[in-house]
Amino acid sequence: MNQIVSSFGTTVRQLRESQGWSQEVLAERADLNRSYIGELERGQAIPSLLTLKKISNALGVSLSNLLAHTERIAQTRLVRGIELTAIAC
């Protein structure tokens, strides 16, 4: 289950950087704390639905698209994990 939290963090970092924003800028636009944004991006904090909504609004994407991006990252990591296991065996 932590895979989804970690993939969400990567999603936030990717979308934030694609806007050219610092964590400070995203934090201000999402009405969240800068250090909390850092924790989210490192997969060290589990966001609530309200936090997800704030971040999707700030990044200008829908909630479902934000989660679809997250699911694609989680899926890619899962496949890579399987491939690495296959090589190791």
Q: How far is the CB of 40 from a second copy (least distance, A)?
A: 10
Report the residue number, 29 or 53, with the smaller CB distance to a second copy: 53
For the chain, the farthest-separated pair of C-alpha atoms sits apart, in whole angstroms, at: 48
Tokens in use for 61?
């994407």
Sequence-ordered list of residues with C-beta below 8 angstroms from that of 70, at least 6 positions apart, any chain = 4, 7, 8, 11
What residues make contact with a second copy under the rule CB under 8 A? 1, 4-5, 8, 46-50, 52-54, 62-65, 67-68, 70-71
Report the residue number, 31 or 84, with the smaller CB distance to a second copy: 31
